[in-house]
Amino acid sequence: MKFTCEKLLLLTAILTASRAAATKSPVALLEGLLIEAQEECIKITGYDLKTGIITTVPAEVEKTGGIVLNARLFGEIIRKMPGQYITISMTSGYIALISCELSEFEILGSPSSDYPELPTVDGQETIEISQQLLKKMISQTNFAVSDNESRPIYTGALFEAEDGQLTIVAVDGFRLAIRREIIENSEIRSCSFIVPGTALGEVEKIVSDEDGMVNITLGTKHIMFSIGDTMLIARRLEGEFLNYKSSIPQNSKYQLKTEKIELIEAVERVSLIINEKMKSPVRCVFSDGVVKLYSATALGKASDECPLEGDCEELEIGLNDKYLLDALKAAPAEYVTLELSTGVTPCVISPIDGKNNFLYMILPVRLKAYES
């Protein structure tokens, strides 16, 4: 194996594939990257047995072949190299010779044949969506994915495709996030699948704000995201996801409209005395034309208020400040509707214009006497 490649392109590919390499593993190969020199390009693969990332970069290949190199060390060496082009070759004993101008490294690698083979995605359905749109939809839902491994099905987000519309749903037992979008020029058939939240986090980092497209290929056990020269493969989560439609309150008693940024700033102010050690819900008192916000911890007390549009009898509800802020910041609108019925039923955040493109639901927190 021997090839020459532009340093910046090679480093970008290494950093991308390294996201799927294990950081600490009893299997040393999983901490490495598979480097394969093909006819006109280099293919770099990272795989931790759960998620795999494959990316390619153009190169001048003198001799094809492959080797596995430690991801962290290889990346640091390429990052520190002084010049614009880097030459890498493999000598006997699986030694990789890395040279650039006057700098030269020899590092021990492993046979490419020992690297675990990535699963094949036997594509049954394919969804095509713009990178920009997918990035937004993931960022506006993935925060609500559960990190509780005791209920693994909720450590992923549900994708539902039907009649040209894509819906992403995330839930963690305390909150629910839904984003819907019509996919233009798409012939999406009816299908649903659950993608691990960790894999979606990597997809969000890989996709760009450019106009390129992402092809999502649905296999029997795996899902593949094809993004330009990069592919991410992850195992589908299997199990029964929450029937989220029946969990959303219907015909809420009060619909109160507000400017999102004003409410965010008010909640952020009263949250200044809340932290991991001093946890406390924000007490929200809704009435005609205003919501008054209160917080109380051992650090002190805080109060603020935000104007609303809509009629409401005085209603008091406790909400987790982080969950409320996450939902408000994710909502893709300047103005939102807060849907409420009682102090013990969920708070729903939805569009004011009747569109159905997002919905966030937060379960209330019981208020203690000193917080009231």
248-371 and 2-114 share a CATH fold = yes
What pLDDT shows up at residue 126?
87
CATH of domain 125-244: 3.10.150.10
93 CB neighbour count, 10 Å cutoff: 7
pLDDT 10s digits, 242-280 = 999 999 998 899 999 999 999 999 999 999 999 888 788
Phi and psi of 281, rounded to 5°?
A: -75, 160
What pLDDT shows up at residue 371?
52
Superfamily of domain 248-371: DNA Polymerase III, subunit A, domain 2 (3.10.150.10)
State pTM to two decimals: 0.92
Task: Output the CA–CA distances (angstroms, integers) from residue 344 to 316, 341, 347, 359, in the order listed.
Answer: 9, 8, 9, 19
Cα–Cα distance, 278 to 301 (Å, whole number): 12
pLDDT 10s digits, 22-76 = 998 898 999 999 999 999 999 999 999 999 999 999 999 999 999 999 999 999 9
pLDDT 10s digits, 150-191 = 999 999 999 999 888 999 999 999 999 999 999 876 666 788
CATH for 2-114 (3.10.150.10, 3.40.50.11810, 3.30.2310.20, 3.30.1330.40): 3.10.150.10
User: Residues 217-240: what's their mean pLDDT?
Assistant: 95
Least confident of 28-32, 121-125, 249-253, 354-358: 121-125
